[in-house]
Amino acid sequence: AQSVTQLDSQVPVFEEAPVELRCNYSSSVSVYLFWYVQYPNQGLQLLLKYLSGSTLVKGINGFEAEFNKSQTSFHLRKPSVHISDTAEYFCAVRNYGGSQGNLIFGKGTKLSVKP
Amino acid sequence: DAGITQSPRHKVTETGTPVTLRCHQTENHRYMYWYRQDPGHGLRLIHYSYGVKDTDKGEVSDGYSVSRSKTEDFLLTLESATSSQTSVYFCAISSPSGNTIYFGEGSWLTVV
């Protein structure tokens, strides 16, 4: 069975500082990986995804993530955060070739950017 | 934004009453999903559909039923609502490749 672990439930950071949100997964087969962002009282918006190819994936709003197969990780990074990045971030995984219904989410990381 | 509309967006209901949440899409996508979101649990799949009248259970399907009589509509029904079903419910649809899932704005349900 697949699982996703987001190692930090909350990450406070000052504006213009770099940030890394950590995500580890477990799966016995190849996977697709995703990061979603959720602003207060809104739905989830796709930030970026890894399907295949280059392990460094660039997404919207200046975020990027690196797929590390040996460490089964997909950490999200941004070199300089803004107040507007304050939100909850979810890592998710789906088996390569698996049912489209089987998207497994982590429990989320709340990013709080302080001035 | 993917064309997904959820209704109602907010509802308060009493324990034991039936509740139906509706998800409407304008994208003509085959796959549709219902998730619930609870603090400390992230999002968990309730049911999903892979076509008209084709549905399957997800991780937390007990107490819920679904129906899909048209491609564009996916209904989630709580036959007899309980306080443990107080949650935010999200509908989602897949891109044709299945590699991206798009979410609606959510339906806040409170069972008192």
pLDDT digits (tens, 9 = 90+) for B44-90: 999 999 899 999 999 899 999 999 999 999 999 999 999 999 999 99
Task: Name chain B contacts of A36, Cβ cutoff 8 Å.
Answer: 103
List, as one string, the DSSP characters of A31-58. Answer: EEEEEEEE-TTS-EEEEEEE-SS-SEEE
Q: State the DSSP code for A103.
A: P
Report the pLDDT value the prediction gives residue A99, as an integer from 0 to 100: 61
Determine the distance in angstroms separating the CA of B42 from the nearest CA of chain A, rounded to an integer.
Answer: 4
CB within 8 Å of chain B, chain A residues 50-79:
51
pLDDT at A41: 84
The strand pairing partners of A32, in sequence order, are A94
End-to-end CA distance of chain A: 41
Pair A74, A67: CB distance under 8 Å: yes
Give the list of residues 6+ apart from residue B31 with CB closer than 8 angstroms, or none: A100, A101, B48, B49, B50, B93, B94, B98
Question: Which residues in chain B are contacts of A105 at CB distance < 8 A?
Answer: 42-44
Q: Using an 8 Å CB-CB cutoff, list chain A residues near B98.
A: 100
pLDDT at position B65 is: 97
pLDDT of residue A47: 95
- β-pairing, B107-111 vs B10-13, is parallel
Mean pLDDT, consecutive 10-residue stretches, chain A (115 aa), reads 90 97 90 92 91 92 95 96 97 76 87 96
**Which residues are within 8 A (CB) of A65 and not within 5 positions of it... i.e. 6 or more apart?**
A33, A35, A48, A50, A56, A57, A59, A74, A75, A76, A77
Closest CA in chain B for residue A100: B98
Residues β-bridged to residue B90: B35
Burial class (CB in 10 A: 0-12, 13-18, 19+), B108: middle
Pick B104's closest partner by Cβ from A36, A43, A99: A43
Rounded Cα gap, residues A95 and A2, in angstroms: 8
Please tell me which residue of chain B has the smallest CA distance to A88. Answer: B42
pLDDT reported for residue A97:
64
Question: What pLDDT score was predicted for residue A101?
Answer: 59
Per-residue model confidence as pLDDT tens digits over B9-44: 999 999 999 999 999 999 999 999 999 999 888 899
